[in-house]
Amino acid sequence: MLFCHLSRADSLREICTGMASCVGKLSHLGVEQAPNKSTLSYAYKHRPAALYQDLFWTALNRMRQNGGLGRRKKKFCFRHKFLSLVCCP
C-alpha cells in the first residue's frame, strides 16, 4: 500500500508493474517477486479500513515522540482533502 502512494500509482496494473521493475531493490524487505493483480485486489477487498487508520495514528504518534512534527497545541487535522483507496463490494 505504501508503494502505491509513494509511486502515485492509479491502478493495480501500475502497482504490479512498478513493483516488478524494482524487485531487486525491494528484496531486502522480503519482497522476492511482484504480487499479481488478483492478489492485491483480494488483499484490498478483505483488509479492514480500521487497519490503515490504526497504522496512520501509530506512525503519527511515533513521529511526534521522536520530535518529527514538534509539539502541537491543536488536534491534528489535514489542510487538504485526504484521499484513500477503499474497495467497496
Domain of 57, in residue numbers: 2-64
Domains held by the chain: number? 1
User: Of 54 and 75, which is predicted with more confidence?
Assistant: 54
Judge whether 34 and 19 are in contact, CB under 8 Å: yes
Of 38, 59, 61, 44, the C-alpha closest to 4 is 44
pTM, two decimal places: 0.49
* In the predicted structure, residue 77 carries a pLDDT above the cut 80: no
pLDDT, tens digit (0-9, with 9 covering 90-100), for 41-69: 888 788 888 887 888 888 888 877 877 65
Q: Is residue 22 part of a domain?
A: yes
Q: Is residue 79 part of a domain?
A: no
Q: Is residue 46 part of a domain?
A: yes
Q: Is residue 48 part of a domain?
A: yes
Q: Which residues fall within 8 angstroms of residue 33, CB to CB, at 6 or more apart?
A: 20, 23
Q: Is residue 38 part of a domain?
A: yes
